[in-house]
Amino acid sequence: MKNSMLMLGVALIVPMFSATVQAAVPDDAQIAAIVVAANQVDIDAGKLAESKASNADVKAFAHRMIADHSDVNKQAVDLVTKLKVTPKDNPTSESLRSGGDKNIAHLKTLSGAAFDKAYIDHEVTYHEQVLDAVDKTLIPNAKNEELKALLVKVRPSFVSHIEHAKQVKAALHKKH
């Protein structure tokens, strides 16, 4: 039952992200807001998982998400500050934050193995959706070459995160 609730939660949150990103072509200020929001969502979930996860691999993954996504956010903030671009909230960045809040609220209701599985399942799906948006919307629509270069530079991290999350997910599902 809890697993079906998780899948329902993921099914409701993730399509909002991809549909919203594809609904309108974002400008650089909106792309910056999307990047910061997407990273912050994962940092917040990682902090919860780092403190609440019962599995050592899940805790290690969460720690990596906090570190990696904090680094990307720092790079993004440094770049927009240098370029004098103010990130502009938009339906996608707002949807990301709302979805992140819903995910955390759901995760807070879980504990033990159920928490670990829900967190890591969401991480796989979330990173796949973010990578899809980076490839199909953010990189192609970034006008500023430095912003585009940053997106291209951090893209391999998202791929690595997906693979790492899938490995942890497979190990968790073998145990239970």
- Determine the pLDDT at residue 20: 47
> From the centroid of its chain, how far is CA 89?
17
Domain boundaries, given as residue ranges, for the chain? 2-175
Copy the structure tokens of residue 61.
């993954």
The length of the chain in residues reads 176
> Is the CB of residue 41 less than 8 Å from the CB of residue 13?
no
Mean pLDDT for the chain overall = 88
For the cut 90, the answer to whether the pLDDT of residue 173 exceeds it is no
User: Region 36-64: what's the mean pLDDT?
Assistant: 97
pTM of the predicted model, to two decimals? Answer: 0.85
Residue-wise over 48-64: b if at least 16 C-beta within 10 A, else e?
A: bbbebbebebbbebbeb
> Is the CB of residue 85 less than 8 Å from the CB of residue 26?
no
Cα–Cα distance for residue pair 1/4, rounded to 1 Å: 5
Write the class of the CATH domain 2-175: mainly alpha
Copy the structure tokens of residue 14.
């993730």
The 8-class DSSP code of residue 134 comes to I
